[in-house]
Amino acid sequence: MHKLTAPLVLLLALQTAPVLCDEDEMDTDLMQTIDDTTKSVTSNIDLRKKQAADEDAHALQKLLSQVEVFYETRHDKADAVEFARTSLEIANRLQKLLTDKDFEGAARAANELSRSCRSCHDVYKHS
């Protein structure tokens, strides 16, 4: 139940979300949503719920694009853009693997995605 409604709630949240550009810190709500969605996609892949996993992967692509855009304007944090892009590329690959119904590959990609979050956190997350 929760897993099915989450992507919808997320879409609504995205539409009403304030523009991030005025903020100087990464939005923790955005990160929490990314965290929830990453966990959700992992479990949906495990359960072979293709459609739910698909929706999560789509949501992750949007959310990670927001992270990328956030850092694009911050020239002192150029490598953060790279970290965001790497995560986004993995999400794109994940999406494609799901389209091909390659759940094993998708599970590996989800794992890789979790690790890619940490490479940015190691540098830019201070708590």
What does the binding site for ligand HEC look like in residue numbers (CB under 6 A)? Answer: 25-26, 28, 31-32, 34-35, 38, 67, 71, 80, 83-84, 87, 113, 117, 120-121, 124-125, 127
- Residue number with CB closer to ligand HEC (48 or 121): 121
Nearer to ligand HEC, 59 or 113 (CB): 113
Task: Pick the closer one to ligand HEC by CB: 101 or 115.
Answer: 115
What gap in Å lies between CA 57 and CA 66, rounded to an integer?
14
Shortest Å, Cβ 127 to ligand HEC:
5
Q: How far is the CB of 40 from ligand HEC (least distance, A)?
A: 11
Q: Which own/partner contact pairs does 94-102 have at CB distance under 8 Å and 24+ positions apart?
A: 94/41, 94/57, 94/60, 95/54, 95/57, 95/58, 95/61, 98/45, 98/50, 98/53, 98/54, 98/57, 99/54, 101/50
